[in-house]
Amino acid sequence: MFESAELGHRVDKQTWNEEEPALRSALLAAQYALLAQKKTAVVVVIAGVDGAGKGETVNLLNEWMDPRHVRTHAFAAPSDEEEDRPPMWRFWRALPPRGRIGILFGSWYTDPIVHRVEGETSKAGLDQSVEAIRHFERMLTQENVLLVKLWFHLSKKAQKKRLKELEKDPDTRWRVTREDWQRFETYERFRKVSEYVLRETSTGEAPWTVVEGADHRYRSLAAGKLLLSALQERLATKAPPAAEPAAPLPKEPIDGRHVLRSLKYDQQVEKKRYEKELEKWQGELNLLARHPRFRRRSCVLVFEGQDAAGKGGAIRRITAALDARHYGIIPVAAPTEEERAQPYLWRFWRHLPRQGHVAIFDRSWYGRVLVERVEGFCDEAAWMRAYAEINDFEEQLDRHGVVVSKFWLAITPDEQLRRFKEREKTDYKKFKITDEDWRNREKWPQYERAVCDMVDRTSTEMAPWTLVEANDKYSARLKILKTLCRQWEEALSHRR
């Protein structure tokens, strides 16, 4: 795979002087056209062999373009804050919004390759990482992100020569470390692992381009022209890339039964018993949150449900048992301009909690397969592929030790109508009822079907849905607290 990048490609000084100004001008024009359209985000992944000119190329691209509209991120070893979250968290945060260019010096490829080269992961572990990368990059391209992946290569002989040249010059000696020479000793293994990873992740929507890095003029023109070509091609494309067809949803059951209609809505708990059990389960939850092993865990709570189903009241009973310094409530409404400029899951990744903390989502990423589906805020291809994207997201949380607890609060149409009318009559509850609530009620059957599809597609072993009969608020709150205690207790029983 690297043969063509070991041929000794060179560009003479005259050619460089002739082509560099035109390339620089064209890149700047394409950058401003991208910024004006605001339809596509561009992610440039820079990777490759030590000494192949990755850093110089990143600096040059920033020099050629307007750096105010370029986000450059150099990823070193994860910080304490990053270690507390799933590995992809720091890369999600680095994604540029539509209209901007992000240059990632080091990326989601670094750790899988290095860990395999150093023997810290097995071939199966590497394959798992490769598959996760393919899923991630496919999702990005379906969100209209342009991925430009550049691998800068040197032969072993050329790398040794390059390192010695840098070490010999007093002005560049600092750039060569003992680690560089240690990695040089594993060159053959690094090449083998890298070749495999590039081959497996060079897809139609996100191909790799290998650039020989021995000659600085050649690699600079090659990288610049590759980026320019990708930008111009995308700018000339009127429609976003076609989405892959998703697997069809199951048909409505022929007997009309589904998970919501099978719930027992007539459950009731007397107030006296409720108050006694509430104190018991809140105390249990508090003890679990203060358990020493909880410091090595984090928890994500998802609350969804019909309007007026009691999500807010249930959340307040949970937070009453927790230390306010260790939880955060994220109320999810319509996306902001900043959030619309990013891939859909970006606004949820950014709120993931550190270890020892709890994030409570009042509405969540399930909005794509619920309100956005029913109200037509996204096309069918977007919400259909969201099931797989959500499952992948939650699997990443689970692998990192995040406890994901998901609750759907269900009420009957008659109970919802009663609560709506009560809100209209009560001064301090009037703010809770809006015209949108009444409009959503008219689409009850469509929402009901969407909920059933959601449960069927996203209730997994790692992140199951808990359906809560919420006609009686006392019964619903106790069920949620009991379920939460059981899930946390089970998670804490496993050492990490």
Which tops the pLDDT comparison, 255 or 297?
A: 297
Q: Give which of 356, 494, 388, 370 is closest to 440, Cα–Cα.
A: 370
pLDDT at 246: 64
Least confident of 65-69, 140-144, 309-313, 434-438: 434-438
Q: Look at residue 255 and tell me whether its pLDDT is greater than 90.
A: no
Count of alpha carbons within 13 angstroms of residue 257, beta-carbon side: 3
pLDDT at 430: 79
Specify which residues 209 forms β-bridges with: 150
Average pLDDT, the chain: 94
pLDDT at 171: 84
Which residues, 6+ apart, have CB-to-CB distance to 101 below 8 Å?
31, 34, 41, 42, 43, 44, 65, 69, 70, 71
Least confident of 165-174, 340-349, 393-402: 165-174
Q: Look at residue 247 and tell me whether its pLDDT is greater than 90.
A: no
pLDDT at 245: 58
**Beta carbons of 147 and 134 less than 8 angstroms apart:** no
Q: Look at residue 249 and tell me whether its pLDDT is greater than 80.
A: no
Is 384 buried (19+), middle (13-18) or exposed (0-12) by CB count in 10 A? Answer: buried
What value does the mean pLDDT take over residues 143-164? 94
**pLDDT tens, position by position, 25-42:** 999 999 999 999 999 999
| Whole-prediction pTM | 0.91
What value does the mean pLDDT take over residues 68-84? 94
pLDDT at 472: 97
pLDDT at 179: 82
Count of alpha carbons within 13 angstroms of residue 189, beta-carbon side: 12
- Secondary structure element (H or E) that encloses residue 386, with its range: helix 380-399
pLDDT at 119: 94
**pLDDT tens, position by position, 187-246:** 999 999 999 999 999 999 999 999 999 999 999 999 999 999 999 999 998 776 656 656
**pLDDT tens, position by position, 176-196:** 888 888 888 999 999 999 999
Q: Look at residue 477 and tell me whether its pLDDT is greater than 80.
A: yes
Buried b (16+ CB within 10 A) or exposed e, 326-354: bbebbebeebeeebebbbbbbbbbeebbe
Distance, CA of 392 to chain centre: 9
Separation of first and last alpha carbons in the chain: 40
How many beta carbons lie within 10 A of that of residue 280, not counting itself? 14
Angle (CA) 432 435 436, round 5°: 85
**pLDDT tens, position by position, 434-459:** 888 888 899 999 999 999 999 999 99
Angle (CA) 316 320 322, round 5°: 120
Residue 252 confidence class, pLDDT cut points 50, 70, 90 = confident
Residue 321 confidence class, pLDDT cut points 50, 70, 90 = very high
pLDDT at 242: 58
